[in-house]
Amino acid sequence: MKLDSPLRAGEVALVGAGPGASGLLTLAAAALIGDCDAIVYDALVSDEVMAMADASAEKILAGKRGGRASASQHDICETLIRLARAGKRIVRLKGGDPFVFGRGGEEVRALASEGIAFRIIPGITSGIAAPAMAGIPVTDRSVNATLAFLTGHEASEKSRMDWKALVEAFPVLVFYMGAKNLPDIAKRLLDAGLEKQTPLAIIRNATLADEQTMVATLGEAADGSITARSPSIVIIGDVVAERMNWKDSI
Ligand code: SAH
């Protein structure tokens, strides 16, 4: 099977929609979005991408933005199973890449346990795309040989993470879902030994018309003198200083 071959009746494609700009969809994603019976999409999927959808396809917003209870995840799986059993050709469309902080694993496990055919189409994840839009190389030979992707939810009081070990192993940190907890993230990193002057960038709505980039320091993020709004990628580390601004941004 080729990734972009037409879906069969009762098949689900778990598709990465990329960070927002329709030009960053994969060819397989564009082909499947444009030829299916139903699209079950997350709130993070851009209007621009949805505009490429098959006009006759049923569009179902699965929306779980803000991390609602797992009951809604259950509902999404039930919806996919119901549509598949009805013989529909289904695209399950998720922002970025479906397996990067996207709960795609849970959905394919649910499908597999019901014997439903599925395929997986990776997408460009926002943790890669957002720094690129801001002109920040996520790896730079002079700065880092490792790179960590994290969820900002880890900065909550229940954090199980060893922050000292984290900053020792990873000179560059890319946080998803980090906007709300930004001051807590910054404080934990300072406590773990990072300098107040460590540069960070916040990139909001990356690849979309209203994309915004803000560059600041870890100290400023910790004391609340800068804030971030969702959806933003926060990248922390000396690669931010290697930034080549190739777009007009604020
Ligand atoms: N699976 C997605 C991530 C889902 S978690 C992916 O691979 O990109 C949701 C988080 O993704 C948001 O809180 C934000 O941190 C990030 N995100 C998604 N799209 C974004 C965009 N266009 N610009 C900035 N951040 C984005």
- Strands 118-121 and 38-41 come out as unpaired
141-175 burial code (b ≥16 CB/10 A, e <16): eebbeebbbbbbbbbeeeeeeebeebbeebbbbbb
**How far, in Å, CA of 94 to CA of 202, rounded?**
22
**What's the fold here for domain 12-124?**
Cobalt-precorrin-4 Transmethylase; domain 1 (3.40.1010)
pLDDT at position 207, please?
Answer: 98
Instruction: Measure 60 CA to ligand 1 centroid, in angstroms.
Output: 20
**How far, in Å, CA of 11 to CA of 85, rounded?**
9
Task: Tell me phi and psi for residue 13, to 5 degrees.
Answer: -105, 120
CATH class (in words) of the domain with range 127-244: alpha beta
Instruction: Measure 85 CA to ligand 1 centroid, in angstroms.
Output: 31
Domain definitions of the chain by residue range: 12-124, 127-244
Q: Ligand 1: does its nearest atom lie under 6 Å from the Cβ of 201?
A: no
pLDDT at position 160, please?
Answer: 85
pLDDT, block means (10 residues), the chain with 250 residues: 94 98 98 98 97 97 59 88 98 98 95 98 98 98 97 85 96 97 96 98 98 97 96 98 80
**How far, in Å, CA of 152 to CA of 159, rounded?**
10
pLDDT at position 58, please?
Answer: 98
pLDDT at position 29, please?
Answer: 98
Task: Tell me phi and psi for residue 36, to 5 degrees.
Answer: -155, 170
Q: Cis link prior to 231 (omega < 30° from 0)?
A: yes
Instruction: Measure 198 CA to ligand 1 centroid, in angstroms.
Output: 23
Among 15, 42, 44, which is best to mutate for testing ligand 1, by the most ligand atoms less than 8 A from CB?
44
pLDDT at position 67, please?
Answer: 52
Q: Ligand 1: does its nearest atom lie under 6 Å from the Cβ of 231?
A: yes
**How far, in Å, CA of 24 to CA of 124, rounded?**
7
pLDDT at position 63, please?
Answer: 57
Q: Ligand 1: does its nearest atom lie under 6 Å from the Cβ of 126?
A: yes
